[in-house]
Structure 1
């Protein structure tokens, strides 16, 4: 106990916690005296620590924030000093304090688990946008960041945010990109999911690191340069120019935030209609609106769609009841969402909802930009596999130059 007393640390760890509590509880003198009950202290060490704490409390009586608390602790010093000064009493108290702390810690961690379960049941996982708030709630109850993260490690954290608070691209720019993507879809007579956004066009997940965006861009650029000169080549070139401007040279978060802004504008009127007519956003209406967002071709995930709806309802001051959590898989062809209930075929267009990842072989959604298991771009892996097959066929037919 020869080290200098850490007054700042005592203020943060002990006084701040005692000040936060609704009533002053002195049943844990080890905490008030900043003594570790797991350690063995001599009588001299205990007296030295108590003297240092008391001197510090005397000085704090002239401070602003903790003056009243410090004065109370000084006035009631016998209640927490006396049990520590006697070695036999101190040993008995140590056992009780350790048991109580263990029970209290177990309850605090159980509360963290309950909070996480509440969020999980609502969203089908723990949205990343809510992790910071849940961590603050846990910290207010005395749970450390390390303890919270240990409990969180057992949960599935889902990405539901967009743009990290960035300002969305201007509406005119967003419309220009959206029109070009629509034009490409019409030229290809392809799926809406593959042209839902610049991210889907590139075949990489939203928010991918710059090196992955650049690699996908260069592959698409080289492939387009080999295309014959036609209108599709021109449209793809325009989209690649947007990729370079918005995702490589600009802030990708601004583009992603724009996707959410478009979806919010499209759905706000429908949310307001339900609120005006029904007085709230009930479970059936909520899930129906989630399906509308998913089928709009915005490229948002189920979690993002739910978060967006809750945000719009909050802006409108409406109550929301979400009911039982439902997750959806979006059809790669018609872009309509289907509940994840074991169905393998889209009920609207008979398209397979799932496919094997060409990279790792595990099953993933056919409309997914990247495999859920390995993170590899599904479309890039499929195109690479098709290219290898074409080369093998050409070599097998003796067309070495074509290969």
Structure 2
């Protein structure tokens, strides 16, 4: 066992564990820098000496700006983690257990690649030349190096196929890579300190918003103020320090010059696209179709990484188009790409007032549950589960730092109507959640519910009127019809604010504004 080198340990061990996501991805031998093969060779005194050296190093790193959260967790669990390594008998037993765990992880590294190769050889009788680049992407997803992937591919014959797609040029990032990394590190530290709840992939997610909400300056300003106020109420400590730094970034980027937030949203979109691209490629590699089950799963992946519903749909269609693949966003309905894929170009942030969803035909029947997808080995349990009873993702819980009540509230009785407001088109009501398109410039809508018959017109005295903003709509994934109001008939009308601030509602429903909710 070589002597302990603190600088080498920081780069080789601490950085790797932090990059993988924390101590849950590691084991005691790695954390205390004891080679697994030396478990039976070293003496107890040597093991204790290494443990004490690593412990002393952790103590010096407790205020490190990058690793302070990880080190705090290591210090807290030191006694439990180090105990099996101090004595020969327990150290050997622990080494055997860790070796088995590492063996399972290594076997799993090839699972994605082997599954894709198997399906390709079944369909084509070998590996098409044009699919090889995609297999390298899939292998990289499992943590394989290029030479490991090449060695696996040499076991199978290569067959001729269509010419591979042209390489995609990378777009420059308007915001410095250093600042983006700093923001990502702070958000990751924020999640680790909270140790629970929804992830916080972006500055907008810290405010419980998405990239779809990036142009709503008033809402962003209000929520940044709420986070700052909540941070001031906290006692001094790691969470307070992290929040203070994040508030500075929020004000500089989200509330600064418009080009900054556009640049930030573009950088986030490119990061999400880089994450999704190999997964989309894996899903369409065999059939050249992004099937509904995979579409739904990848849609959740995009939402988890900060995109809004409109941006997530657009990105998945664009990525599938890059590979010339069709999209089955609705069960049984396949959308073919209109033309050959263009060079890589990431979607700009979609303003909340101008969503561009890919709607299903209006139907009074709840959509069927998703079928199993084609990228089984990349699946995990999404934090927002879609089921037959709840096809729309559950809303993310409001973070403790945002304490105001943002639920839809009943509209004032008898709001005045106004002519000329754009009509709303309702897409569906699966699981008791209304989904509809927001007309350009409209940020508030009135939903009318009536049990006996469809609402006749806005202001129907027999209907219950509920107002919703487009920010609440995007957070909840639609308008959630209260359980005690179902089954019922629903209709949606757009609203606007008069010059004096009075809410006005459209004087008539659009042709596709009504639907039955079960």
Query: Above 0.5 in TM-score?
Result: no
TM-score relative to the length of structure 2: 0.30
**Greater percentage in strand:** 2
Structure possessing the higher radius of gyration over alpha carbons: 1
